[in-house]
């Protein structure tokens, strides 16, 4: 099995899309991620997987907290901005529990780092959810490298 075949296979798993956000030294950094899952109810834990080369690691390591913003179908542009596919866009973040969140997300989870695991070329962050916001709407989805094709 080569890398391309593995990536193609993983792309067959339809997901939602999140933007991870955190703030350190007065600077907010965001990153698009679909490697997100719920882990535990007691305590309330979630997991994200961040590539070792991503700048996001430096911000989370300093702040020891981060938010996960689950995007609605109207927020594809946010996904593209925080994946580096749309450059030089100004994004205004709201603040929730002292952390940056993207307004109009379906869900924003405010998390503190519970523990961290290195896994190959990624770092897994388990976050303890300290509070969340919730609103109705349709999700942005990602399948076979494309947005919102799950039901089309």
Residue 129 lies near ligand FAD (rule: CB under 6 A): no
Minimum gap (Å) between residue 42 Cβ and ligand FAD: 26
Residue 126 lies near ligand FAD (rule: CB under 6 A): no
Q: How many CB atoms lie within 10 A of CB 92?
A: 8
Residue, CB closest to ligand FAD:
35
Q: Which residue, 42 or 54, is less far from ligand FAD as judged by CB?
A: 54
Degrees (nearest 5) of the Cα angle 89, 95, 99? 95
Burial of 74 per CB tally in 10 Å (0-12, 13-18, 19+): exposed
* Cα 142 to chain centroid, rounded: 13
Minimum gap (Å) between residue 117 Cβ and ligand FAD: 14
Residue 142 lies near ligand FAD (rule: CB under 6 A): yes
User: What residues numbered 27-66 form the site for ligand FAD, per CB under 6 A?
Assistant: 28-35, 49-51, 54-56
Residue 140 lies near ligand FAD (rule: CB under 6 A): no
User: What residues numbered 6-25 form the site for ligand FAD, per CB under 6 A?
Assistant: 17
Minimum gap (Å) between residue 134 Cβ and ligand FAD: 22
Degrees (nearest 5) of the Cα angle 83, 84, 89? 110
Minimum gap (Å) between residue 57 Cβ and ligand FAD: 7
**Residue in the block written with tokens 């925080």:** 82
Coil/strand/helix, residue 76:
helix
Task: Kindly write down the DSSP assignment for every residue of 54-65, as one continuous string.
Answer: -THHHHHHHHSE
Query: Residues in the site for ligand FAD, rule: CB under 6 A?
Result: 17, 28-35, 49-51, 54-56, 79, 81-84, 87, 89, 91, 142
């Amino acid at each position: 099995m080569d890398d391309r075949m593995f990536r193609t296979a993983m792309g067959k798993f339809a997901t939602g899309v999140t933007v991870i956000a955190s703030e350190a030294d007065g600077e907010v950094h965001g990153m698009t991620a679909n490697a997100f899952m719920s882990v535990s109810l007691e305590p309330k834990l979630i997991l994200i997987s961040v590539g070792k080369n991503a700048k996001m690691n430096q911000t989370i390591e300093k702040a020891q907290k981060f938010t996960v913003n689950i995007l609605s179908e109207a927020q594809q542009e946010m996904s593209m901005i925080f994946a580096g596919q749309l450059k030089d866009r100004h994004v205004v973040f709201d603040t929730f529990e002292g952390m940056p969140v993207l307004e109009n997300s379906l869900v924003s989870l405010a998390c503190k780092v519970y523990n961290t695991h290195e896994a190959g070329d990624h770092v897994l962050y388990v976050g303890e959810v300290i509070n969340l916001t919730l609103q109705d709407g349709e999700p942005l989805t990602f399948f076979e490298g494309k947005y919102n094709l799950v039901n089309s």
